[in-house]
Structure 1
Amino acid sequence: MAAPNSHPAPMTTTPNTSAPAPAPGLRASRLHQVFDQALARTLRANSYANFAGCFPTPAKYVPASLESVWRQLNAKLEESAKAEFDEILAEREAVAHLNELDRLVSEAKERRERDRLAGENGEARGPGNPPHTLGAEELYKAHLTPYLEEAQATLNQKLEETHAQNTALAQTVQAQRQEIERLLASLESVVGDIEGAATAAAEFSKEHHIRQDAIQMDREVKARPNV
């Protein structure tokens, strides 16, 4: 009986047909730059002086060995950080997305410039842009405009009501003023009548006094003898 073949069949490897990573654009390059700067600051913070301060005995007796360990540790930290960063970029397809964002921003700027030139030349602009192509300020204004228009309409209505109330109040005040003027005219007439009556009463009182004096004189003359 033949012994069974204990060697497994050779595995066929599938060639890597994935597309090469895209070259980083403006924003992707800036992201790499920010990461490199942050990593460099971290490595500078882990200086040999700080590292040796944590191991005073080896730093005193075997400083060369301790410095070698420090260099290997920093190199491993740098290598691990870069590898993890590249892995995250590849997993999230960050470079491709950032390049797409660069393209969209560039197209939006070109479209805005064309619209500006068209407006300056008096040309009609095309239909409204899709929301995802608008900038932050345009989206903010588009979202806020309905509320501002509603508030403006409410304020206009209140202003009209206040104007109507002021008009009615002005008419009431004018009517009251006319009524006061009529009352004053009537009061002046009454005052004139009172003054006339007072004058007449004074004249009557004076005439009555003269008459009384004449009667008294006549009585005195008659009362004298041989008159």
Structure 2
Amino acid sequence: MPESIMAAEMPNAPLDRSPSPASAPPVASAPGPRAAALQKLYNDAINHVLKTCSYDNFAKCFPTPSREVPQSMRQLHEQFNEKLGNQLRSNFEDVLRDRNVVPSLNELDRLVEEAKRRKTRAQEEGVESSPMPNLRPHTLPAAQLYLAHLSPSLAQASQDIQQQQEVTQAENSELLDRVLQQRSEIATLVQGLENVVADLDASVATLKPEELDALREEGRDVDEEMRMVT
């Protein structure tokens, strides 16, 4: 078949393919404005908690050690605050990582900035936005909406902290039982020693003076023999 006839029978197919939609830019792993604000808010809350746990409040829980060894109690208070702050920050970092919070907030920042750029570009090009339906805006405050989004993460963090507190309380109860048992054993031992001393005193009281002198003389002889041997 001649090439001219084949060209006439074939439809005019477009040579250029439609361009594929542009892929979304990668989400930055570094904290954006919202993620940084969330981290700052939590750090401020931790600092407030640690300031509330001042040395004066801490010392009221342990009046006797605070009066007897104040320097050691101050060191213990500093170590307690440092460990508590590190534990709270570590738990918060675990929640951020497990819930993928930072990338999600960064993606929200990107979408908001993209929407602002599109709106600005449309205004510069004179394109009027489509009329929005008459929707009634919600009346919820920003804090309530913010907490509604964070409630699952906060609930999980609260559950983890409660489990740690239960474990710590169980360990403290076991330690208290051990201390009480040791005190009982010490009291029994002291009572036994007091009984032995009382028996010795009673035995000495029943001895006659000449018997006491004989015992002293025998003790001196034994001491002399031991010195000669050594």
TM bucket (normalised to shorter chain) is 0.3 to 0.5
Q: TM-score, normalised by structure 2?
A: 0.44
**Higher RCO (CA-CA < 8 Å; seq separation 6+):** 2
Q: TM-score, normalised by structure 1?
A: 0.45
